[in-house]
Amino acid sequence: MKKVVVVGAAVIDVLLKSDSFTVIKSHQVTGGVAMCQVMGGKIEAQDGVIVSGGGGTNVAVGLHRLGEATKVIARLGDDDLSNLLLNQLEKENIDLSFIQRGKGKAGLSSILVAPDGGRSIVTYRGESGLINGSEIDWSLVEKADWIQISSLGGEMSLLEDFVTFAKSKNIGIGLNPGKKELENKDRLMKLIPRLDFFNVNRMEASQLLSVDFDEEKQLILGFSKLGIKLFAMTDGKRGASIASNDNWLKVEAFSNKSIDDTGAGDAFVSGAVEGILSGRPMEDIVKMGLANGGSVVTKLGAKAGLLYKDEMDKWMNKKLTMIEERTTG
């Protein structure tokens, strides 16, 4: 059992899944696909839940279910939703002693889920984006074997502090950045070579490197050249890639029907990091990430489908197509 500190958002997710959400293709939106409904209209949902979410808590719960001792650094408010969030996290038995409480509101995400599992998310960050470095007991963080960071709401100075601290204390550190960190491209790119594990999705990789989305090898090569110990790039239903030095492995996704894509990225992170902490080879690391992501999309919400250790073992017995390539030559 490893000691892991997970840093990131803690929010309440309100999810509604409806067969009536309309998915359309449009050049007017980024990505070319939109989910919409008539202004002023009303529709019925077939399912809905109010559950804890946010990258920090999702990854912490994922790692704890896989057998690690996890503490989460996140920030809540002093409102009823914050208390609801805390109560749900307590049921997962993760260590909440690092949770910060502010005077504002809990972060809140409204998530509309389409029939095919695709979703659109509107997020109010509230206190979740205000983690205060001065409130962190760094002497306790020093006891960790690994620090895993998700979105910090663009607080780049805090992110830099964590990376510097981890390197000075010989603690492994991984990062799955959020939108706000990705917007601070110059500062983020300077941090990436210092990380032990870095992962983004393919669209994010394309934006960070200013390389065409279709140039898959150039995307992998671009990050490999930065000197990251281990880099992973998820690619939705197409699977994921993982690279170390000039070794590159492409792995297909598990075949299953998606109920809700929410939390698939966080699930991949917790599965992959568990593989790293367990000393697994590259092919197992990416497969564990894909297994956790493949499971979580079969349930509504970002945590219900997160795997426990015995469940992960069963998923790892399933066969996936893997292609070994090199980023050089």
Domain boundaries, the chain: 3-20+47-326
Residue 36: predicted pLDDT? 66
Q: Is 277 within 8 Å of 4 (Cβ atoms)?
A: yes
Q: Per-residue confidence at 158, pLDDT binned at 50, 70, 90?
A: very high
Query: Which residues 6+ apart lie within 8 Å of 100 measured at CB?
Result: 73, 74, 75, 76, 127, 131, 132, 135
Q: What is the percent of the chain where pLDDT is above 90?
A: 73
Residue 95: predicted pLDDT? 93
* Average confidence (pLDDT) over 287-300: 95
Query: Which residues 6+ apart lie within 8 Å of 193 measured at CB?
Result: 226, 227, 228
Helix (H, G, I), strand (E, B) or coil at 35: strand
CATH architecture of the domain with range 3-20+47-326:
3-Layer(aba) Sandwich (3.40)
pTM, to two decimals: 0.92
Q: Closest Cα partner for 301 from 256, 253, 267?
A: 267
Share in percent of the chain as helix, strand, coil (round to 5): 35, 25, 40
Q: Is 164 within 8 Å of 196 (Cβ atoms)?
A: no
Q: How far lies 89's CA from each of 68, 151, 178, in Å? A: 16, 18, 22
pLDDT tens figures, 170-190 = 999 999 998 899 999 999 999
Reading the block at residue 165, the tokens are 């601290």
Instruction: Report d(CA 179, CA 191) in Å as an integer.
Output: 16
pLDDT tens figures, 5-36 = 999 999 999 999 988 777 777 666 666 666 66
Reading the block at residue 258, the tokens are 């998606």
Instruction: Report d(CA 37, CA 43) in Å as an integer.
Output: 9
| Strand ranges in the chain using DSSP code E only, listed in sequence order | 3-7, 11-17, 22-25, 33-36, 47-53, 69-73, 75-76, 100-101, 107-113, 119-124, 146-149, 172-175, 197-201, 231-234, 240-244, 247-251, 322-326
The amino acid occupying position 318 is K
User: Whole-number mean pLDDT of the chain?
Assistant: 91
